């Protein structure tokens, strides 16, 4: 079973990974965006880290709702509200249980991803974070490592796609040939599950 501390470790591992990869995320956002994805997420997850150090919520759901709220309030740009919605929706779907199973997490994340798709209007193949998140959720039944591999593959597979949502879509055909920054950061978020489980 996964307790509040597991979810805290997941968010902390994501924050650390975003710190390590911020330059790469911003570099990916340079040819098909406005070169701020790494700094946007770094600011957001620094706020998540600070909030979790201060408050220490007692349930998995409360950890994710608090993290999501930080991202929504601290990150301008598309990714803040989208990631904020992902975590808040997932957290709400977990309810107030003290511990949840991997199956419950998979189901809750599915609700979270569906919240992202409703808010942003993107479907798989539109070259967004959805292209990493949907395969990750589909693979979660086979374990965190399988979800990590699926998210990474999904992110890499955005390269040949034409962007249909977000800033990159303004470029039309010129968006082809670049990996989507948001799909790349979503793969980091999912990879952090493996780290949280290993700790
Ligand atoms: P901004 O584009 O406002 O500068 P970021 O650079 O932080 O925001 O985030 C860009 C990422 O957000 C994109 O790479 C993409 O994955 C994701 N994104 C943008 N618009 C949408 C959308 N409508 N639905 C899902 N994801 C989106
Ligand atoms: Mg940007
Ligand atoms: Mg921006």
What distance in angstroms lies between residue 29's CA and the mean position of ligand 1's atoms?
Answer: 9
CB 132 within 8 A of CB 186: yes
Output the six-digit token pair for 177. 């040939």
* Mean pLDDT value across residues 115-126: 98
Q: What CATH number does the domain containing 59 carry?
A: 1.25.40.340
pTM of the model: 0.98
Residue 76 has pLDDT above 90, yes or no: no
Please give the pLDDT value at position 199.
78
Q: For ligand 1, what atom is nearest to the CA of residue 180?
A: 14
Q: Does residue 115's CB lie within 6 angstroms of at least one atom of ligand 1?
A: no
**How deeply is 199 buried, as exposed, middle or buried, from its count of CB atoms within 10 A (0-12, 13-18, 19+)?**
exposed
Please give the pLDDT value at position 122.
98
Angstrom distances, CA of residue 8 to CA of 25, 83, 106, 180, 190: 23, 16, 17, 27, 14
What distance in angstroms lies between residue 37's CA and the mean position of ligand 2's atoms?
Answer: 5
Question: What is the separation, in whole angstroms, between the first and last Cα of the chain?
Answer: 14
* Mean pLDDT value across residues 95-102: 98
Please give the pLDDT value at position 156.
98
Cα–Cα distance between 63 and 11 in angstroms, integer? 9
Q: Which residues surround ligand 2, an ion (CB under 5 A)?
A: 29, 33-34, 36-37
How sure is the predictor about 152, in pLDDT bands with cuts at 50, 70 and 90? very high
> Which H/E stretch holds residue 99?
strand 99-100
Q: Does residue 40's CB lie within 6 angstroms of at least one atom of ligand 1?
A: yes
Q: For ligand 1, what atom is nearest to the CA of residue 29?
A: 6
Number of compact structural domains in the chain: 1
How does 27-43 read in b/e, with b if 16+ C-beta sit within 10 Å? Answer: ebbeebbeebbbbbbbb
* Mean pLDDT value across residues 167-184: 97
Residue 165 has pLDDT above 90, yes or no: yes
What distance in angstroms lies between residue 135's CA and the mean position of ligand 3's atoms?
Answer: 26
Nearest residue by C-alpha to atom 11 in ligand 1: 182
Instruction: Report the length, in residues, of the chain.
Output: 199
Please give the pLDDT value at position 164.
98
CB 99 within 8 A of CB 1: yes
Q: Computed from CA positions of residues 50, 53, 56, 60, in that sequence, does the dihedral angle turn out positive or negative?
A: positive
Question: What domain range includes position 45?
Answer: 2-198
**What ipTM is given for this predicted complex?**
0.99
**Tens-digit pLDDT profile for residues 122-141:** 999 999 999 999 999 999 99
């Amino acid at each position: 079973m996964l307790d509040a501390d597991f979810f805290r470790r997941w968010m902390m591992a994501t924050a650390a990974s975003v710190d390590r990869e911020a330059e790469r995320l911003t570099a990916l956002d340079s040819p098909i965006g406005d070169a701020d994805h790494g700094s946007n997420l770094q600011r957001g997850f620094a706020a998540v880290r600070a909030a979790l150090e201060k408050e220490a919520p007692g349930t998995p759901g409360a950890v994710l709702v608090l993290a999501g709220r930080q991202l929504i309030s601290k990150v301008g740009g598309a990714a803040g509200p989208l990631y904020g919605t992902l975590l808040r929706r997932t957290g709400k779907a977990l309810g107030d249980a003290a511990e949840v199973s991997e199956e419950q997490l998979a189901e809750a994340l599915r609700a979270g991803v569906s919240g992202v798709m409703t808010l942003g209007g993107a479907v798989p193949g539109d070259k967004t974070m959805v292209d990493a998140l949907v395969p990750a959720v589909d693979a979660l039944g086979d374990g965190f490592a399988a979800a990590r591999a699926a998210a990474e593959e999904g992110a890499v597979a955005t390269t040949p796609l034409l962007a249909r949502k977000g800033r990159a879509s303004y470029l039309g055909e010129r968006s082809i040939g670049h990996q989507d920054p948001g799909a790349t950061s979503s793969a980091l978020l999912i990879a952090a599950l493996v780290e949280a489980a290993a700790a």
